């Protein structure tokens, strides 16, 4: 009974802390811009293809395979975690064992995956600690970012070790007590052979230590993740579902400007709400100007650096880092969000995403090639935020590089990018006719 009460208390505390954290993020979403979703059948396909099948991660075959194995392993092991919660609440043991052969398959698969994941995590830690992988570095990657990654990987490693320990000593405990063993344990059964000299009491104690260690690590990890770059464990699948499914090169028009152009071309046309009293803000200058999908993108960023590694601007030494853009959106909302929640949309702390976090030089370095969006394993669309901040600079601040300003002036005065009037555009043909 005491074990049951302690477990239920730990579970309620975990859920309460997690709910508090999620409520904070949901409140921040209220201050982002609305964006409608459509084509749900395509979204389900994209989610299966990218998030579940992990197709994009395989562009780096070895590390991609290991990462995919970690993801798939977590899906299988999640079933066992749910079983542990039920066992803890109702004082049962291996309650899903009633499923028979299906349970044997799931448990055996999870036991094998635990070993595979532990090996993969050791490889990941070795790469981070001892190999100078270029994409793990950059001006945006502060020491706290590296410590965050190492901490999350260490958490996962401990989770797998305690899972194997729990399975190993459960198998031994049931065997020594003459009880029926629920499930099949190909890895743990082998490990159990190394502890044959232990007494049943010692085995039982070790099982309890690993059982509690594993479930409490799960509870702790669940509440650490929302404050870590590994928040993508929760966010990546829904992020892929809401991600952009149009071709990457497509640039969305601004509806307010589109209406103005249509009215100029046809003043008698009806283009929607003509009684709009408030002039909309063009583009993005702060975190609360981005769409809710863009903010979800920022929360889903794994900081893996694959986007920055393929960015031609970054490769040639320019300041732009697509990873930094997403990290800055997330950091800025974390800074401004509490004030928005407390005082409303009118809150200002005298700072902004554009200027205090992201410079104009970074934005204009982007070639809009979409290599970063193509490479991102969770379908983040970095160019959409960059484009919106550029739109703010041009439409709200009249700020653009000199070459673009010349083009804008020519379009305004001459109706074309060239610095001569429409009447003179065919003058170059006169010489042809004269010599003909």
Residue 141: predicted pLDDT: 93
| DSSP 8-state assignment for residue 181 | P
Nearest to 302 by CA among 392, 234, 356: 234
Q: Is the full-model pTM beyond 0.75?
A: yes
Task: Assess contact for 27 and 339: CB atoms under 8 A.
Answer: no
Residue 435 has pLDDT above 80, yes or no: no
Four-CA torsion 405, 310, 381, 399, nearest 10 degrees: -20
Distance CA 305, CA 322 (A): 8
| Residue 54 pLDDT > 80 | yes
Average pLDDT, the chain: 92
pLDDT at residue 275 is higher than 70: no
Residue extents of the structural domains in the chain: 2-242, 282-400
| Domain 282-400, CATH number (from 3.10.450, 1.10.1060, 1.20.1630, 1.25.40) | 1.10.1060
Q: Which pLDDT value is given to residue 414? A: 83
> CATH 1.20.950: does it fit domain 2-242?
yes
Give the separation between CA 139 and CA 154, rounded to whole angstroms.
24
In this predicted model, which residue has the larger pLDDT, 281 or 170? 170
């Amino acid at each position: 009974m005491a074990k049951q009460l302690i477990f239920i208390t730990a579970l309620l505390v975990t859920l309460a802390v997690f709910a508090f954290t999620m409520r904070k993020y949901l409140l921040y979403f209220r201050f982002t811009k609305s964006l409608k979703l459509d084509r749900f059948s395509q979204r389900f396909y994209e989610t299966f293809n990218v998030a579940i099948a992990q197709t994009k991660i395989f562009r780096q075959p070895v590390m991609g395979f290991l990462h995919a194995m970690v993801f798939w392993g977590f899906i299988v092991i999640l079933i066992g975690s749910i079983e542990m919660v039920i066992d803890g609440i109702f004082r049962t043991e291996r309650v899903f064992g009633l499923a028979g052969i299906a349970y044997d398959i799931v448990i055996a698969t999870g036991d094998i995956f635990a070993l595979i994941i532990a090996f993969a995590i050791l490889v990941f830690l070795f790469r981070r600690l001892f190999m100078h992988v270029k994409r793990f570095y950059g001006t945006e990657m502060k020491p706290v970012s590296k410590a965050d990654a190492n901490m999350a990987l260490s958490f996962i490693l401990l989770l797998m070790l305690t899972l194997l320990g729990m399975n190993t000593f459960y198998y031994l405990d049931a065997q020594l007590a003459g009880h029926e063993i629920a499930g099949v344990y190909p890895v743990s059964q082998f490990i159990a052979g190394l502890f044959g000299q232990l007494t049943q009491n010692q085995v039982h104690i070790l099982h309890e230590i690993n059982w509690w260690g594993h479930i409490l690590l799960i509870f702790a990890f669940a509440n650490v993740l929302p404050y870590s770059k590994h928040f993508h464990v929760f966010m990546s699948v829904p992020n892929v579902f809401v991600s952009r499914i149009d071709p990457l090169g497509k640039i969305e028009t601004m509806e307010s400007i589109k209406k103005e152009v249509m009215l100029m071309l046809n003043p008698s046309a009806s283009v929607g709400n003509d009684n709009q009293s408030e002039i909309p803000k063009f583009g993005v200058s702060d975190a609360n100007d981005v769409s809710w999908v863009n903010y979800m993108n920022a929360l889903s960023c794994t900081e893996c650096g694959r986007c920055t590694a393929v960015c031609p601007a970054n490769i040639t030494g320019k300041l732009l880092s697509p990873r930094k853009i997403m990290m800055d959106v997330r950091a800025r909302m974390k800074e401004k969000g509490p004030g928005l929640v407390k005082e409303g949309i009118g809150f200002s702390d005298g700072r902004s995403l554009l200027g205090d976090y992201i410079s104009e030089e970074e934005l204009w370095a982007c070639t809009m090639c979409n290599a970063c969006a193509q490479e991102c394993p969770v379908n983040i669309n970095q160019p959409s935020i960059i484009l919106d901040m550029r739109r703010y600079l041009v439409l709200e601040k009249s700020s653009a590089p000199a070459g673009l300003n010349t083009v804008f002036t020519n379009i305004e005065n001459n109706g074309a990018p060239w610095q001569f009037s429409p009447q003179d555009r065919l003058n170059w043909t006169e010489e042809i006719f004269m010599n003909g």
